[in-house]
Amino acid sequence: MSLSDKRILLVVAGGIAAYKSLELVRRLRERGAYVRCVLTNSGAEFVTPLALSALSGDKVYSELFSLTDEAEMGHIQLSREADLLVIAPATADLLARMAGGQANDLATTVLLATDKPVLAAPAMNVRMWLHPATQANLAILKERGVVLLGPEDGDMACGEFGPGRMSEPMEILAAVERHFANGGVLAGRRALVTSGPTLEAIDPVRFLSNHSSGRQGHAIAAALAAAGAQTTLVSGPVSLDDPPGVEVQRVNSADEMLAACQAALPVDVAVCAAAVADWRPRHSLAGKIKKGDGHAPAIKLVENPDILATLAAAGPARPTLVIGFAAETENVIEQASAKRLKKGCDWILANDVAPGTGTFGGAENLVHVIDAQGAESWPRMSKAAVAQKLSSRIAEALGAG
Ligand code: C5P
């Protein structure tokens, strides 16, 4: 998404994560945004005004009582001319001063004087983050409409592990894009996406599942959210990060996935990208099955509910657009067209998962979109690009934008 002509005021406070803000400035500028930076005194201990200035292509503002700055651009104007204020990193101290309504340096003055939306990416030590004082400040700021992004769990520069790491620059960039896309083509629409495998318990330690990575489904949820849709992602167990701006419901079994999908209705569009296990053990045993006297246990399977077909036949709650996937190894278009009719969905995205195509678990996908009119073949592209193209097609079909 282009951020061309968007004006972003980036407040850089004093934390080790400040080095990531340099990268953020680059990424914002790459997308065409104007970036102006306010650097706090402690921020300047971690990054130099010169580095920020070189990357933003603009002067960096630090002093509240600077005659030259005030003559060029008053601090009130600085806070009002931006379309969005981003604080990265937002330290415990800066958040506390904001929550208290203080204006004792340029950053807090600008933040108090602004009438523009504020997005903050906190970064601090785990214990500082978990401290009731910080949590109370965050609650105040949230209530005032400050959008908080992160922090992430992880190893911290201080040697501890837990929540406190600033979100990565690309995550912050995605949040900025989302901000400007609200009012995007799918704003006001609701979307439901299923993703990943399901896991069907045999006993407390064993299960049936499959190799689905969830990459395509997660990318679709991210693209729909980036286009402004209020998006729920119902995902089986995957090792992917939650897509930004998406409400994620984690489930294990197909039964749980179906229940979570039904709870998410009504939606305008449902995209079923999950590789739902076709069968589950008839009985999931409460205790671990013991290895016997050389006889393997017989596991009786029963069929799982078909989530796609259920959503497509949901009567008045049926989403306007129901979209499924069909992973086929031969006669891809033919098989997928038959599946579209059988499942009662509007579109099927057929993909070739024959061994050697690299589709399953890979980063790319080769897709044919099948609707009532016929098949449209898309060139091989990244799963993110498929998601983007699908999101545009959905917006068109819903008459959005
Ligand atoms: O029948 P098959 O598994 O090939 O169909 C694939 C499509 O149906 C995918 O969109 C998948 O998410 C959906 N599906 C489902 N529930 C099932 C089986 C498949 O939603 N139990």
Q: Tens digit of pLDDT for each residue in 112-153?
A: 998 888 999 999 999 999 999 999 999 898 877 788 898 988
CA angle 339, 343, 344 (to 5 degrees): 115
Query: What would the pLDDT profile of 255-314 be if each residue is shown by its tens digit?
Result: 999 999 999 999 999 999 999 999 999 998 889 988 877 888 899 999 999 999 999 999
Verify whether ligand 1 is closer than 6 Å to residue 254 (CB atom).
yes
Verify whether ligand 1 is closer than 6 Å to residue 274 (CB atom).
yes
From the list 158, 261, 272, 345, the catalytic residue is 158
Sign of CA pseudo-dihedral 114, 45, 150, 182? positive
State the pLDDT confidence band at 5, using cuts at 50, 70 and 90. Answer: confident
**Residue 401 above 70 pLDDT?**
no
Structure tokens at 333: 């278009």
The rounded distance, in Å, linking the Cα atoms of 23 and 292 is: 59
If you ran DSSP here, which 8-state letter would residue 27 be given?
H
Residue spans of beta strands (DSSP E) within 156-268: 161-165, 190-195, 200-201, 207-208, 230-235, 247-250
The rounded distance, in Å, linking the Cα atoms of 348 and 369 is: 6
Sign of CA pseudo-dihedral 141, 248, 308, 304? negative
If you ran DSSP here, which 8-state letter would residue 370 be given?
E
Phi–psi pair at 14, nearest 5 degrees = -90, 95
The rounded distance, in Å, linking the Cα atoms of 233 and 193 is: 5
Verify whether ligand 1 is closer than 6 Å to residue 311 (CB atom).
no
The rounded distance, in Å, linking the Cα atoms of 62 and 366 is: 51
Residue nearest (by alpha carbon) to ligand 1 atom 21: 306
The rounded distance, in Å, linking the Cα atoms of 133 and 111 is: 20
Residue pair 108/149 in contact by the 8 Å Cβ criterion: no
